[in-house]
Structure 1
Amino acid sequence: MLSLNMMSTVGAILRVERHLNYNIVVNGFHQSCVQYLNQRWREKHGLTANPNAFGLLTNLPDYTFKDGKPTPLGIRQKGRLDKQRDYAAKVIKLVGEIDYAVERHAKMQEKEKQRRQQILDSKLKPKGDLLLQKQTGKIKN
């Protein structure tokens, strides 16, 4: 026979699976977890997986001064700004490297094309009497 506490835990888990109730009871304590959020719904609506990682409450200051003075940065706001600045610098560096590689590849292809054309031009030259006739302009086709 199941105890009352165990039955409430089983009932809570079944409610989570059926109706997406975010309250989970474990050993008589109510708990909620990010993994029980409906991730497909959040992704479909363009939201982040963790609602506490990004948003107005996270990114904006907690208060503003009426006279327009800038508010000091929050506890982790400077760290987030530095992290985003580092990401931007890394993206710019990598994009520059890719642009350089694309240009270098195009130049190498052009050089190879010129080299092949030079080889073809040097191979198919008239020789002997045909060369003398071509130089004097008397060649007949």
Structure 2
Amino acid sequence: MAAPIRTLCCAVLRNSSRRFSTTLGAQGGEKWRKEHGLPRSGTEYGPLTDLPDWSFADGRAAPPMKGQLRRKQEREVIARRIVMLNAEMDGGMDRWKEKQDEAKRLEEHKESLLFKPKGKLLLKKKKPQSQEP
């Protein structure tokens, strides 16, 4: 019984002028939402997805649903990663500044080891600095 129905459906689809699309259609307004700092769709985050759907009559909150717990856990993992990467970046910047300071100290030390001017050259260098207008 299933075979004649299947062949009938296939024959109808082959003769149909409409074709099925297997590509994902673009969500309406996605570009506008991204430009305005909103999520791609209205169901990614926000009060409609993060808050419970119901509460008890006496005012108590409903227990969190699995999806809410999962999203909360994902956000915690992302927040921990951000903090870790930020600490790594701060440490890297500190090490870079220390290297720059060390290079500057080394350069100053090399300059201090150079020969100093003697005799007439020493007097010529001091003379322009000691003159006051």
For the criterion TM > 0.5, the same-fold answer is yes
Could you tell me which residue of structure 2 aligns to residue 124 of structure 1? 115
* Deviation beyond 6 Å, 4+ runs, structure 1: none
Structure with higher RCO (Cα < 8 A, 6+ apart): 1
SS of 2:41's equivalent in the other structure is coil
Partner of 1:115: 106
What one-letter code is carried by the residue in structure 1 that aligns with 2:62? T
Question: TM-score, normalized by length of structure 2?
Answer: 0.63
Per the alignment, residue 103 of structure 1 pairs with 94
Q: Which has the higher strand share?
A: 1
Percentage of identical aligned residues = 26
- Unaligned residue ranges in structure 2 (runs of 5+): 1-15, 124-133
Deviations 1:84-136 (A, max 9, x none): 00000000000000001111111111011011111110112468xx6xxxxxx
One-letter amino acid of the structure 1 residue matched with residue 30 of structure 2: Q
Q: By how many angstroms is 1:34 displaced?
A: 5.7
Who is 1:87 aligned against? 78
> In the aligned structure 1, how far is the partner of 2:117 from the partner of 2:32?
75
Conserved 8 A contact 1:34-1:50: no
Q: Contact 2:30–2:41 (CA<8 Å) still a contact in 1?
A: no
Q: Specify the SS of the correspondent of 2:39.
A: coil
Q: Is the alpha carbon distance of 1:117 and 1:85 closer, same or farther for their aligned partners in structure 2, counting shifts above 3 Å?
A: same
CA RMSD of aligned residues (A): 2.6
